[in-house]
C-alpha cells in the first residue's frame, strides 16, 4: 500500500513556511515595529529587557539570520574590498595579496581576491562582478 504525502502548498505569506525569514517576519512574530527589531540587533541597550526577550525569541523561533549583503545595500557601503591580480602564480602577486589581506584585516574589512591570468576579458568580468557586489 502506497503512503500518501501531504500536498506542498505555495507560500501564502505565512513567514513560518518561508526558508529565509525577514526582519519584517521577526517584527510581526514579536508584535513590535521593524525599527524595534533593528534596535535589538544593533543597539540592544536602548530596548527594554521585556521587548528584547520577545524579539530574541522570535528570531530564534523563525531562524532569522542577518543578511550582510542586504545590510550593505541599505547602508550603501560594504566591508569588502576586491583585488584582481594578473598572475597568482607569480610570487610577487602572492606577496601583494598577502599584504592586501593583512591590511584589510587590520581595517576590519574582508578581501575578495580574483586572478585574471593576464586576460583583459577575465579582468573586465571580475570588475563587473565586484561592481554588482558593491
- 113 versus 19: the higher-pLDDT residue is 113
Q: What pLDDT is attached to residue 8?
A: 34
Residue 21: how many other CB atoms lie within 10 Å: 20
Q: Answer whether residue 67 shows pLDDT above 50.
A: yes
52: which residues sit within 8 A by CB, 6+ positions away?
40, 44
Q: 1 by DSSP, 3-state: which? A: coil
The CATH topology of domain 18-66 is: 434 Repressor (Amino-terminal Domain) (1.10.260)
Joined together, the cell numbers standing for residue 78 give 560594504
Q: Give domain limits for the chain.
A: 18-66, 77-133
Find cell 526558508 and name the residue.
Answer: 19
d(CA 114, CA 126): 7
77-133 — its CATH code? 3.40.50.2300
Mean pLDDT of 44-63: 94
Amino acid at each position: 500500500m502506497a503512503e500518501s504525502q501531504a500536498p506542498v502548498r505555495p507560500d501564502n505569506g505565512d513567514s513560518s513556511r518561508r526558508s529565509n525569514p525577514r526582519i519584517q517576519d521577526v517584527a510581526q512574530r514579536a508584535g513590535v515595529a521593524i525599527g524595534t527589531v533593528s534596535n535589538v540587533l544593533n543597539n540592544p541597550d536602548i530596548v527594554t529587557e521585556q521587548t528584547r526577550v520577545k524579539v530574541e525569541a522570535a528570531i530564534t523561533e523563525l531562524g532569522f539570520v542577518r543578511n550582510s549583503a542586504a545590510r550593505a545595500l541599505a547602508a550603501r557601503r560594504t566591508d569588502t574590498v576586491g583585488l584582481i591580480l594578473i598572475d597568482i602564480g607569480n610570487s610577487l602577486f602572492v606577496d601583494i595579496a598577502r599584504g592586501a589581506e593583512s591590511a584589510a584585516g587590520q581595517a576590519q574589512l574582508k578581501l575578495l581576491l580574483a586572478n585574471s591570468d593576464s586576460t583583459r576579458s577575465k579582468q573586465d568580468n571580475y570588475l563587473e562582478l565586484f561592481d554588482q557586489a558593491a
